[in-house]
Structure formats: structure tokens, C-alpha cells
């Protein structure tokens, strides 16, 4: 685990909530200079409180749901801001008493003692595009849930699954309604299909906007990603915008850990007791690289046979084989974006052959 090193004379921990923030500010020796609750997240009042110390001040808050505005406000005010990784900050949860006053003080002391595990502050100018991409993913998942409901309905009545396409759902809709003779169940199907069509329309518009904006802002990296087997337009968008700046990962191991493609271990007395940390990292990248591995082994003339050999080596365990391939694809993407090079399938196969 990496920790942030504070170099300022004054350090401030903020226990941030939706309508208030508890502030604790200390000097380098741990002497409390400010310790109070600020109602309505009044940042102007906060600046008045810290005015004597802001020339050499670091502010720290946990990575919870509402930190964007605080990070942006500190940046605008010229105050250094550190985001603490909420899942790594264990000292806050270890005491007998836990409240906002205690939490803000512990955050401040962890910052002063260089024990804050930092999280990445995604740049404000890039957040809207990433939020738009996540909105698109949510809509796709919602549409998939509706389609699964209709399929489950078909299976419940022992009816065949009908072929469909998102570009023309009219034949599929007509066949579904023709099979259903009960007026109430017809009404339920019509409701689901109306929502599906609405998602189709919104997603078509949203995807066109995402592609247009990405080509304006990061066309080179986006084009490089698309040379990777299994990565098309929308997986490429997900990977590109969830990574942000690839230089924030010092090594490929840091990148794989952030992608949830490697797990931590629990060891004692030289023996591994188990695994941990499966949910630490970015779930969108884990999903994207997993999907890319499945598509790549299905379509690629080199990675397909390679995946079959991996499955044979792992006694037919497709999940493990897919995970290994996803890890290799993620490694390739890391070096592609670092070095601005296209995908090299022969190099990936060579690295797998050596393992």
C-alpha cells in the first residue's frame, strides 16, 4: 500500500457529508488549531477559518459520494487537496467511539503522520465525459435486464426464443405479441418493449455523441486501443475514459491492480491463508477487459487457438483462462498507451508461452 507524504506545515482533515462537514486542522506537531462543524458545507466560511494557515495547508477528505465539489473548490482556492481511499482508511473504524468529530481528527492525524492511502482525483474537465460514458453503460444494463425479463417470460411458458436485432425490433415484437393470447400479459410485454425501444433511441444518440467527443479530445489513444483484439468502439471508450491519464500508474502492476485483475494475499508464518482485495479497484475496467478477452478468443486467429491451449492447461477452466487472457490484454494496453504503439499479437503470445 502506498501512502501520501505531507510536506506542509498545517494539515486539515474533513469528515464530509451531504449537508455539513466537520473540520479539524492541526500544525506539524499535532496541536489542534481549528476543530468545528460547518453547516451547509459553507466553503466561504471554511476559507475564513483557515485563512491564517492556507499559505501552507493540505486538506484531506475521504473518497465518498460527494467529494467532487470540495476538490474543485480547493483547487480554485489554491489549497492542496488529498483524497483518502475510503476502503483503506481503517484507523477511523477501529475506535470504541465513532462520530464526525473523531473521524475528522483521525483523518488529520493520519495525514500529518503520512499514513493516508491516496485515491486518484479525476480531473474536473474530464469528469463530464466519463459520467456520460457511465450513463451509457447503465442504460445498456437496464435494457439487458428488460430483454432478460422477456426471455424468462418465454421460458416460463415453454416458448422458443425468438431472434432479434436492436436495429429493427418490429418483427420480433410482432412475433412475441402473436404468441401471447392473454391480454394482461400482452400489456406487460408492450410496456417492456416500449422501454426497450426508448433505450434504443437514447443509446443511439448517446453513442454518437460519445464517439464524436472522444475523437475530438483523445483520438490518438482511442485509435491505438482499437487495434487490440476484442476492443471495439464502446469497450475502447470505457477503457480510455476510466483510465484517464495512464502516467498515473508508475508500473504495469499498479495498473493491473487498479483493473481488479489481480488479488491480494493474506499470509502468516510463510503460509498463504487466503485472498483479499477482490473489490478494490475499478469495476468498469475489470468488466471491459473481461469482455475484450471473450470477444478476442472468439474472433482472433491467433488469440483463439492460444485461449484453447490455456483452457487445456487449466483443465478446462474457462474462467481462469479468460482471466489470464484479460490480464495479458490489460498489460498490452498499458504499454500501448505508455509508448504510443499499436497492438502486437506475436509479442503477447510470446509472453504467454514463457509463463
92 in a domain, yes or no? Answer: yes
Write the pLDDT tens digit of every residue in 60-107.
999 988 899 999 999 999 999 999 998 888 766 666 778 899 999 999
Of 119, 144, 177, the position where a domain reaches its end is: 119
Average of per-residue pLDDT across 272-287: 81
Do residues 252 and 187 share a domain?
no
223 in a domain, yes or no? Answer: no
Looking at mean pLDDT, say which of 146-155, 248-257, 307-316 comes out highest. Answer: 248-257
The confidence score (pLDDT) of residue 353 equals: 60
Do residues 207 and 251 share a domain?
no
Q: Of 33-37, 247-251, 278-282, which range is least confident?
A: 278-282
Nearest-angstrom CA–CA distance, 198 and 295: 27
How large a percentage of the chain has pLDDT more than 90?
62
Which domain CATH number covers 38? 3.30.420.10
The confidence score (pLDDT) of residue 95 equals: 67
The confidence score (pLDDT) of residue 136 equals: 94
Average of per-residue pLDDT across 165-187: 85
Given a cut of 70, is residue 311 above it in pLDDT? yes
Do residues 110 and 131 share a domain?
no
Given a cut of 80, is residue 274 above it in pLDDT? no
Average of per-residue pLDDT across 176-197: 89
Do residues 23 and 100 share a domain?
yes
The confidence score (pLDDT) of residue 91 equals: 65
Of 80, 102, 119, the position where a domain reaches its end is: 119
The confidence score (pLDDT) of residue 90 equals: 75
The confidence score (pLDDT) of residue 301 equals: 78
Nearest-angstrom CA–CA distance, 288 and 305: 21
SS (H, E, C) 5-22: CCCCCEEEEEEECCCEEE
235 in a domain, yes or no? Answer: no
Do residues 182 and 136 share a domain?
yes
230 in a domain, yes or no? Answer: no
The confidence score (pLDDT) of residue 87 equals: 82
The confidence score (pLDDT) of residue 238 equals: 95
> Rounded to whole angstroms, what are the CA distances from 154 to 38, 174, 331?
56, 14, 42
Do residues 262 and 202 share a domain?
no
The model's confidence at residue 19, banded by pLDDT at 50, 70 and 90, is very high
Nearest-angstrom CA–CA distance, 178 and 334: 51
4 in a domain, yes or no? Answer: no
225 in a domain, yes or no? Answer: no
Q: Domain limits at 261?
A: 242-354
Place of cell 471495439: 232
Do residues 86 and 139 share a domain?
no
Distance between terminal CA atoms of the chain?
A: 27
Given a cut of 70, is residue 354 above it in pLDDT? no
Average of per-residue pLDDT across 25-48: 95
The confidence score (pLDDT) of residue 167 equals: 76
Of 119, 139, 164, the position where a domain reaches its end is: 119
The confidence score (pLDDT) of residue 267 equals: 74
* Count: domains in the chain: 3
The confidence score (pLDDT) of residue 310 equals: 84
Given a cut of 90, is residue 35 above it in pLDDT? yes
Nearest-angstrom CA–CA distance, 109 and 127: 30
Average of per-residue pLDDT across 258-285: 79
Cell output for 211: 464517439
Nearest-angstrom CA–CA distance, 252 and 333: 10
Average of per-residue pLDDT across 207-225: 93
The confidence score (pLDDT) of residue 220 equals: 94
Nearest-angstrom CA–CA distance, 141 and 165: 16
227 in a domain, yes or no? Answer: no
Write the pLDDT tens digit of every residue in 115-124.
999 999 999 9
Amino acid at each position: 500500500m502506498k501512502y501520501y507524504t505531507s510536506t506542509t506545515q498545517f494539515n486539515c482533515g474533513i469528515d464530509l457529508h451531504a449537508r455539513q462537514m466537520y473540520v479539524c486542522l492541526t500544525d506539524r506537531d499535532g496541536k489542534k488549531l481549528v476543530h468545528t462543524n460547518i453547516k451547509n458545507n459553507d466553503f466561504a466560511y471554511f476559507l475564513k477559518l483557515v485563512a491564517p494557515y492556507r499559505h501552507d495547508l493540505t486538506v484531506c477528505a475521504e473518497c465518498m459520494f460527494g467529494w467532487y465539489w470540495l476538490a474543485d473548490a480547493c483547487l480554485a482556492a489554491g489549497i492542496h487537496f488529498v483524497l483518502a481511499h475510503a476502503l483503506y482508511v481503517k484507523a477511523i473504524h477501529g475506535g470504541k467511539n465513532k462520530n464526525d468529530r473523531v473521524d475528522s481528527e483521525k483523518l488529520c492525524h493520519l495525514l500529518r503522520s503520512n499514513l493516508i492511502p491516496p485515491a486518484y482525483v479525476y480531473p474536473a474537465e474530464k469528469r463530464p465525459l466519463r459520467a456520460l460514458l457511465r450513463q451509457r453503460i447503465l442504460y445498456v444494463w437496464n435494457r439487458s435486464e428488460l430483454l432478460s425479463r422477456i426471455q424468462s417470460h418465454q421460458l416460463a411458458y415453454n416458448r422458443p426464443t425468438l431472434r432479434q436485432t436492436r436495429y429493427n425490433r418490429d418483427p420480433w415484437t410482432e412475433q412475441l405479441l402473436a404468441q401471447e393470447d392473454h391480454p394482461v400479459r400482452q400489456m406487460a410485454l408492450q410496456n417492456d418493449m416500449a422501454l426497450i425501444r426508448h433505450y434504443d433511441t437514447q443509446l443511439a444518440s448517446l453513442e454518437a455523441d460519445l464517439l464524436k467527443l472522444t475523437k475530438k479530445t483523445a483520438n490518438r489513444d482511442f485509435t491505438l486501443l482499437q487495434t487490440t483484439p476484442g476492443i471495439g468502439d464502446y469497450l475502447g471508450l470505457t477503457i480510455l475514459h476510466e483510465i484517464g491519464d495512464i502516467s498515473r500508474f508508475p508500473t504495469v502492476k499498479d495498473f493491473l491492480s487498479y483493473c481488479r485483475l489481480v488479488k491480494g494475499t493474506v499470509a502468516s508464518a510463510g503460509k498463504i491463508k487466503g485472498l483479499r482485495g477482490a473489490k478494490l479497484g475499478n469495476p468498469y475496467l475489470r468488466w471491459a477487459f473481461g469482455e475484450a478477452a471473450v470477444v478476442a478468443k472468439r474472433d482472433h486467429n491467433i488469440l483463439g487457438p492460444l485461449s484453447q491451449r490455456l483452457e487445456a492447461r487449466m483443465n478446462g477452466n474457462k474462467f481462469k483462462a479468460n482471466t489470464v487472457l484479460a490480464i495479458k490484454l490489460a498489460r498490452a494496453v498499458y504499454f500501448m498507451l505508455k509508448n504510443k504503439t499499436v497492438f502486437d499479437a506475436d509479442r503477447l503470445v510470446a509472453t504467454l508461452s514463457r509463463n
